[in-house]
Amino acid sequence: MDTIERLDLMAKIKQENVAQIIDFLEQNKTRDGEVSLNDVMHLAEVMSGSMHDFLSTVQPAVTEELTAIAKEITRMKQEISALRANDMTGNKIPDAGRELDAIVEATENATNTIMEAAEEIMAADPSDSEAYQDLVSNKMIGIFEACTFQDITGQRISKVVETLRFIDERVTSFIEQLRIPASFEAEIEETDEERRKRELILHGPQHSGEGVSQNDIDALLGDSQADIDKLFD
């Protein structure tokens, strides 16, 4: 192919390229600036694909690079598809939230039932031993029944754990496939809520063996102020 033929081909391809890109932009212009990662990838595919013919005549090495980029884009699309982000945000996470709400409700109901039974036993008149025994027996059965919440909440917690595992597996795989180095992670800015928790020393309940025991607390409270001040030096 001589120089004139190359220039002819380039002009023809340019016209086709521009037409394809204009078509793409025309089709998407009514979307009020909402451009998804998928759209960007599609545009990149159109652009890189449309240049393929021209570049293959000019520079095979560049063609190889573009082919590799196109393959990478395809692979990323597959990874994004495997992430099932819409399923996560639309189904899995809201479902887990509903399960947790149901757990809170079930434990609260059970606690109230048990406490009501205990309060009625505490307030009962034991002078009539037969009536008192009947009342205690009935309330004890009520307490046992209320304790059945544990079985159901256990099953609900398993579903939430399953969801967390699903999200963990997919996000971990996605990060590995994208080969994102830890240094690329954005710095986390402290939110107002986090600042409040830090300033007011709000850690929440500790796991077994992590917090201090009542005995440790008693020992700390028994220390003199001077000993405690030393801990801050």
Classify residue 211 by its DSSP letter: S
**Considering the rule CB under 8 A, would residue 221 count as an interface residue with another protein?**
yes
**Considering the rule CB under 8 A, would residue 190 count as an interface residue with another protein?**
no
Stretch that binds another protein, among 24-32, 92-100, 134-142, 195-203 (CB under 8 A): 195-203
Annotate 216-229 with three-state secondary structure.
HHHHHHHCCHHHHH
**Considering the rule CB under 8 A, would residue 131 count as an interface residue with another protein?**
no
- Among 4, 187, 231, 233, indicate the residue that binds another protein (CB under 8 A): 231
Based on CB atoms, which residue is closest to another protein, 60 or 126? 126
Q: How far is the CB of 210 from another protein (least distance, A)?
A: 8
Site for another protein in 13-32 (CB under 8 A): none
- Angstrom CA distances, 86 to 60, 93, 105, 178, stand at 39, 10, 28, 19
Return d(Cα 63, Cα 154) in angstroms, integer: 57
Return d(Cα 90, Cα 81) in angstroms, integer: 15
Site for another protein in 197-216 (CB under 8 A): 200-206, 211-214, 216
**Considering the rule CB under 8 A, would residue 104 count as an interface residue with another protein?**
no
* Burial class of residue 225 in the structure, from the number of CB atoms within 10 Å of its CB (0-12 exposed, 13-18 middle, 19+ buried): exposed
- Among 112, 160, 167, 195, indicate the residue that binds another protein (CB under 8 A): 112
The token duo for 40 is 């960007």
**Considering the rule CB under 8 A, would residue 220 count as an interface residue with another protein?**
yes
Largest Cα–Cα distance in the chain?
A: 116
Q: How far is the CB of 147 from another protein (least distance, A)?
A: 16
**Considering the rule CB under 8 A, would residue 105 count as an interface residue with another protein?**
no
Based on CB atoms, which residue is closest to another protein, 96 or 114? 114
**For residue 113, which of 143, 144, 152 has the smallest C-alpha distance?**
143
Q: How far is the CB of 228 from another protein (least distance, A)?
A: 5
DSSP labels, 164-180? HHHHHHHHHHHHHHHT-
Rule CB under 8 A: which residues touch another protein?
Answer: 108, 111-112, 115, 118-119, 122, 200-206, 211-214, 216-217, 220-221, 225, 228, 231-232
